[in-house]
């Protein structure tokens, strides 16, 4: 259900990596809001180790090219209403020590202008697991998929007994053929606006295991509900 992305097709895409893990360094995705700030999921920041690096301009994780830029996190802000588990407000911002240098391969994505529940299809990109089984199988290269967005009523009512909230968005093929999986957390769900600008509407939060279970789509945080929170954190000294 996923295709390999063209290298640097998603120049706002970030890989969060544990540098002290010899096997799989990538553990979460993120997106660049500007030269200093990365948007990701709260549970991703809670998983930071002291050797976490923020990597922009990446395509192949095994064979980095010259467009890759690496930074260390300087400050992190996890949304104060996020309770640290599967639940709403699973959002975080990471400020890097040195600004990224923007170019054709590394640049930012746009935040929405106002609260909005997206409709139609949206694009996900990530280095998340390709396996529908319980054991993840991670791709080396950045992958992408077009996911249908479930309407909000279905999103909030299809999953009784789950911590679904009106600040979430659901997206994925209902038959399970295209879905988010482990390693996709924090990755952006985007659409183009009428001017062709890429806007991030969702941050990958959680999904059912095994990934791609029929009738169970991925759950994203709807970033358009948090615009003031982003401003407040990014303007804090």
Q: Which positions are catalytic?
A: 43, 90, 185
Residue 120: CB atoms within 10 Å: 8
Answer yes or no: are the C-beta atoms of 182 and 86 closer than 8 Å: no
CA distances from 37 to 61, 75, 93, 190 (A): 22, 10, 7, 17
Rounded to whole angstroms, the Cα distance separating 154 from 192 reads: 23
Residue 5: CB atoms within 10 Å: 19
Residues in the chain: 237
């Amino acid at each position: 259900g996923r295709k390999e992305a063209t290298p640097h097709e998603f120049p706002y895409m970030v890989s969060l990596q544990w540098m002290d893990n010899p096997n799989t360094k990538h553990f979460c995705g993120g997106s660049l809001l500007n030269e200093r700030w990365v948007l990701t999921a709260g549970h991703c920041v809670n998983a930071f180790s002291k050797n976490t690096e923020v990597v922009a301009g990446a395509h192949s994780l095994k064979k980095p090219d010259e467009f890759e830029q690496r930074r260390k996190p300087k400050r992190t802000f996890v949304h104060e209403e996020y309770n640290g588990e599967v639940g709403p407000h699973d959002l975080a911002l990471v400020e890097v020590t040195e600004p990224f240098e923007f170019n054709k391969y590394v640049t930012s994505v746009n935040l929405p202008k106002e609260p909005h529940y997206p409709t139609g299809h949206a694009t996900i990109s990530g280095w998340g697991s390709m396996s529908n089984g319980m054991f993840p199988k991670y791709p080396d290269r950045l992958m992408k998929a077009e996911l249908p967005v479930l309407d909000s009523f279905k999103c909030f009512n299809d999953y009784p007994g789950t911590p679904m909230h009106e600040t979430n968005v659901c997206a994925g093929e209902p038959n399970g053929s295209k879905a988010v999986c482990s390693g996709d957390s924090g990755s952006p769900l985007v659409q183009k606006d009428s001017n062709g600008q890429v806007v991030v509407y969702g941050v990958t939060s959680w999904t059912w295991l095994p990934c791609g279970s029929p009738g169970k789509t991925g759950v994203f945080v709807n970033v358009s509900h948090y615009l003031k929170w982003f401003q407040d954190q990014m303007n804090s000294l």
